[in-house]
Amino acid sequence: MPAFADSAQLEALPLCGQALLGGRMIRRAVMAIMPEATHSGDAERELMMRVCDTIEVCARDGTGTQSALAMFAEARALRDMRDRFAGEREALRHALWWAVDASRAADVARELPFEACVTPAFLNAIAALGADRRINRLQITILVSGDIDLIAFACAEAGIGRFDGLTNHVMGRLPPVHALSLNLIRPTPEELAR
């Protein structure tokens, strides 16, 4: 799991900000692993992108995961799916589920003691992404650290509290995400011997 320069800054972010971090990283990974040009018409890619959109909307509004339960259930079904893409997309599917978990925990933390569940769920999403050998962990660390700084600054500027939604003020200050750069995987000697 990547170590961020200042984990205290991650934990100090509003809970919705932590959930947003997961959604942004998953979107980057989806764009890299399942590029639109080669996966046009791919229902799984479209679902993952819609789930990322929903995570962002829930983070902006500070609520709304109840209305997204059906879509989040589809994300859970993806996590458990076994198909021809299982090996290639397994880490991404698990990461998506953890990002959904962080979003749901951030939403209900105002009413139930789930505040302590948001950061570990986000970190689990990042760890799941890091399990894919094509994804560079240093790249993840740099992108997440940059997002943490941007979200923290915008939240401080807008006076957003721990349990508040991020509002359009914060969302408007974030740059769009771009696809991760994937590593070329060289087969191990064991794989070559098979």
Tens of pLDDT along 49-59? 999 999 999 99
Strand ranges (E), 36-179: none
Average pLDDT (6-14) is 84
Return phi, psi of residue 69, to 5°: -60, -35
When comparing pLDDT for 107 and 6, which is higher? Answer: 107
When comparing pLDDT for 78 and 121, which is higher? Answer: 121
Tens of pLDDT along 103-133? 988 888 877 777 788 999 999 999 999 999 8
Average pLDDT (30-38) is 83
Please give the C-alpha separations between residue 152 and each of 11, 12, 32, 65, 168, in angstroms, as whole numbers: 11, 8, 26, 23, 14
pLDDT reported for residue 18: 94
- pTM of the predicted model, to two decimals? 0.84
Pick from 135, 109, 90: which is nearest to 18 by CA?
Answer: 109
Tens of pLDDT along 159-175? 999 989 999 999 999 99
